[in-house]
Amino acid sequence: MENINMDDNWYYVIVQNPDTVSEKFLGFVDEKNNEKFLPAFKTKNDAQKCFQLLPKDLFNEKYDIHAVIEEDILSAAEKNGHLVFLLDETGQILKPLH
């Protein structure tokens, strides 16, 4: 079995309603700039810590953290008019992903 190399091409994202027909990456709107964005994280630990701080609907939705290749994140974001930002564990933007 081949191991996945978690190099610069893989990021962790929060998936809303995983393994259902309504599965999607969790996105947000920056109220200041009115920009839609998807948060991405370099480590699963960063994603888990930041997830606790993010607004979400725990009563009606399920969430999971998945490792996704950069090209798939960017493609999904583009289709839905989102930008992608790499965040740290506190939700601070480290850099945009292109």
Distance CA 93, CA 38 (A): 11
pTM of the full structure: 0.86
Q: Are 17 and 27 in contact (CB under 8 A)?
A: no
pLDDT band, residue 6 (cuts 50/70/90): low
Domain ranges across the chain: 26-87
Question: Residue 8's pLDDT is what?
Answer: 61
> Which is it for strands 28-30 and 35-41: parallel, antiparallel or unpaired?
antiparallel
pLDDT digits (tens, 9 = 90+) for 27-81: 999 888 889 999 999 999 999 999 999 988 888 899 999 999 999 999 999 999 9
